[in-house]
Amino acid sequence: MSVEKVVLEINHLHTGFRLRDDYYDAVDDISLTLKQNEVLAIVGESGCGKSTLAITIMGLHDLKQTRISGEINYNKVDLNQISEAEYNKIRGNDIGMIFQDPLSSLNPLMKIGDQIAEGLSYHTSMTKEERGQRVLELLEQVGIKNPTRVVKQFPHELSGGMRQRVIIAIAICCKPPIIIADEPTTALDVTIQAQILDLLTDLQRETEAGIILITHDLAVVAETADRVAVMYAGQIVEEATVLELFDNPLHPYTRSLLNSIPQENTSGESLHVIEGLVPSLVDLPRVGCRFANRIPWVSASAHEENPELHEVSSGHFVRCTCYRHFDFL
């Protein structure tokens, strides 16, 4: 797949939430680029900061309880420096988002057609008739049969898979060059998951959009992504092309995640379990390797005091030197 210009550049991004009398970073010094016609997967356990990163890019945090610094550059503009009115012009038109829970994302009191048309009404000069036609086209595009009936229905009348397709239709209605898909297949059965992923791939091929795919499912990553950033405790701990990451995973966390996937040739064997839990924001160690307490058999001297991302081969980055000393017990 050809990869072209950079459409989004994130530099040293921090997102901190106010807890008690202080702020604690859930996104801690993240730098990433997204290119046109590329799927960048962000993977990691629940609580590692993936969705917080997505919401930060969309500018949807309550700034009274959140402290954000760093740059989110789109079209040579830092989105962290623009007004809410300017952000509203970008959301939906330039950056579309597919939320992980369609039932809570859709308005239960609005018909499906009106919800999809809302973005077109805000961002385009289409007439009512043109918007209505575009809504039908979008529903057909996302694989919904009988769109003339669906536009008149309410969210509760649709299945989970159909609601997810509606959310995708809303996200792509203005053909944005950037799409953020936050766990787009969560709570869907395997058959519907495959259909949704195929749909996203087809849409990307058609529009050449850059897609940030947030997921904890490595099988989804292997099938869909071009590049992968592995996130742990608010930081990127490894970044590489999808082929490089699966062929040559280096960081202990990445290797542990991959080792947790059931394999065909391991029937009867117990699955690998990563020791410990992702630390809470308050308890998160801010100095040293954040994964150290989950691999206690690796000596303290193997970790950096302030772990940085090292480029170990072209386009392959790993945080901390502990990967050189790690092996499974």
pTM assigned to the model: 0.93
Question: Residue 32: inside a domain, yes or no?
Answer: yes
Question: Residue 131: inside a domain, yes or no?
Answer: no
Sign of CA dihedral 234, 236, 242, 244: negative
Question: Residue 290: inside a domain, yes or no?
Answer: yes
In this structure, what CATH number is given to the domain that contains residue 220? 3.40.50.300
Question: Residue 262: inside a domain, yes or no?
Answer: yes
pLDDT given for residue 170 in this prediction: 95
d(CA 213, CA 90): 19
The answer for residues whose C-beta is within 8 angstroms of residue 281's C-beta and 6 or more apart is 17, 19, 24, 25, 26
pLDDT confidence band for 204 (50 / 70 / 90): confident
Question: Residue 163: inside a domain, yes or no?
Answer: no
Domain count, the chain: 1
**Would you say how long the chain is, in residues?**
329
pLDDT, mean over the chain: 92
Question: Residue 18: inside a domain, yes or no?
Answer: yes
Question: Residue 259: inside a domain, yes or no?
Answer: yes
pLDDT given for residue 3 in this prediction: 46
> Could you tell me what percent of the chain has a pLDDT over 70?
96
Q: At residue 208, does pLDDT exceed 80?
A: yes
Torsion angle defined by CA atoms of residues 208, 209, 210 and 211, in that order, rounded to the nearest 10 degrees: -120
Question: Residue 126: inside a domain, yes or no?
Answer: no
Query: Rounded to 5, what percent of the chain is helix, strand, coil?
Result: 35, 25, 40
Place of tokens 């980055």: 317
Which residue from 189, 216, 213 is spatially nearest to 201, judged by alpha carbons? Answer: 213
d(CA 215, CA 327): 26
Strands 316-319, 235-241: parallel, antiparallel or unpaired by DSSP? Answer: antiparallel
Place of tokens 């949704």: 196
The answer for residues whose C-beta is within 8 angstroms of residue 24's C-beta and 6 or more apart is 16, 17, 281, 282, 284
The one-character DSSP state at 86 is H
The conformational region for residue 299 under phi > 0 = left, psi -120 to 50 = alpha, else beta, is: beta
Q: At residue 115, does pLDDT exceed 90?
A: yes
Domain of residue 190, residue span: 6-107+177-325
Per-residue pLDDT reduced to its tens digit, 117-161: 999 999 999 999 999 999 999 999 999 999 999 999 999 999 989
Q: At residue 246, does pLDDT exceed 80?
A: yes
pLDDT confidence band for 261 (50 / 70 / 90): confident
**Lowest-pLDDT range, 28-37, 100-109, 124-133, 239-248?**
100-109
> Could you tell me what percent of the chain has a pLDDT over 90?
75
Which residues face 181 on adjacent strands? 98, 213
pLDDT given for residue 242 in this prediction: 97
